[in-house]
Each structure stands twice: as structure tokens, then as C-alpha cells.
Amino acid sequence: MAVTLNPLHLGQTSALPATPDEAVLDYVPNPRPGTLYLARFAVPEFTSLCPVTGQPDFAHLVIDYAPGETIVESKSLKLFLGSFRNHAGFHEDVTVGIGQRLFTEMQPRWLRIGGYWYPRGGIPIDVFWQSGAAPEGLWVPDQGVASYRGRG
């Protein structure tokens, strides 16, 4: 992973990557190095494809992380997540794969992802992954996404 002061996507015209593997995530220096804090990305309209039927699957993702030396640049994250619109994967693989890629490349002090998936076959599936125990002293708020209740 290369940390650059000149991100590939920020301020540039960028096409949506065809696949998650083709997506390039930009990481920039943490503006508050040495400070323990939590950053959150909420993605309420995430879409991927069912690997069996090819039909779209929808989720509300919440990504929380405590930055280390770098932070992920949000436009590159948006393009990476958007590339899943053409990607077929089970909920578990997609959710955990996003978390692991971010953790491996960005090397935050801590990261967790919650994937709150809308029903497939009548069953909502929620998937959670974290890199380990949260650092002592880190305020970790509830992700704020209620379990699926359907109508009413």
C-alpha cells in the first residue's frame, strides 16, 4: 500500500471500477496521528449480486475504524463499494471481505464492519466482523441500525 499526498481519485474524474479487485483505494496520512478516535462510514444503499440468482442484494453497511497512520479517502471508498454492484457474492463473503481488505491495506488500530442485509428468501442476514478488541479508551457507539422488522 502506498500512502500518497496526491490521491488517485480526489478531485479527479474517476470511472466506477468493474470489479472490487480492480478498485484502487486511496489512503492519505491521518490528520490527527497519535490521537485515538473513531471514524464511521454509513452506507445505507449498498448493493451486490446474489451468486446463485444474479439478482441484486441490498444492505446497510456501517464501517467503524480507529485510524493508525492513514485514513481511507472517501471517494475511493465510494468507488470501491460501488464496484460490488457487479459482484456476485454471499453476504458473509462480501461483508467480511470489505472489512479485511480495508484492515489489511489501511492498517488502522482497529476496524469493525456491520452488514445489515435486507431479506433474501424471506430471511434477513446480518454479518459482523472486527479486527479484534477495540483499543482501551476508544468510544465505540452502537452502529444504530435496527434489526430488520419488515412492514409495521
Residue found under cell 439478482: 55
Asked if 84 and 20 count as a contact pair (C-beta separation under 8 A), the reply is yes
The catalytic position among 50, 93, 126, 142 is: 50
Catalytic residue among 21, 26, 57, 64: 57
Backbone angles phi, psi at 102, to 5 degrees: -60, -45
Element counts in the chain: helices (H) and strands (E): 2, 6
Active-site residue, 64 included? no
Return phi, psi of residue 115, to 5°.
Answer: -110, 110
57 is catalytic: yes
Residues annotated as catalytic (active site), given as ranges: 50, 57
